[in-house]
Amino acid sequence: MIKNLTPAEVVRLADLVAYQPGQVVSQTLAQNDGGGLTLFAFPEGEGLSKHTSPADALVMVLDGEALIEIDDKPLTVAAGESIVMPANVPHALQAKQPFKMLLVLVKD
């Protein structure tokens, strides 16, 4: 079930999370055994260290730009673009500028 959103109401997802100096902000919209939807806001220079996930992860960039490394391959992703981080493959990200994303996790 989707939470923190009003049904049948237009919303700009990027407006639901605010940048905070020196910290990553997140807001969960849905989470269950099949996956999840989470909004994130990263100030410039902040990020997530290399890790793996048991789920495929779709990153939808809402604002800004990030460097996303997937299996040691660096990729720049900007507002309006998306990328899939495959399950069980090491990945990391860092905000090249203030950066907001919707993370969609999909498990088997």
Which segments of 1-108 are extended strands (E)? Answer: 25-32, 35-42, 47-51, 56-63, 65-70, 73-78, 82-85, 91-95, 99-106
Q: Please, what CATH class does the domain formed by 13-106 belong to?
A: mainly beta
For residue 108, the model assigns a pLDDT of 80
**The predicted structure's pLDDT at residue 1:** 85
In the chain, which residue ranges form alpha helices assigned H by DSSP? none
Q: Count the Cβ atoms, other than its own, within 10 Å of residue 72.
A: 10
90: DSSP letter? -
Q: What is the mean pLDDT of each run of 10 residues along the chain (108 residues)?
A: 92 97 96 94 97 96 98 98 98 98 94
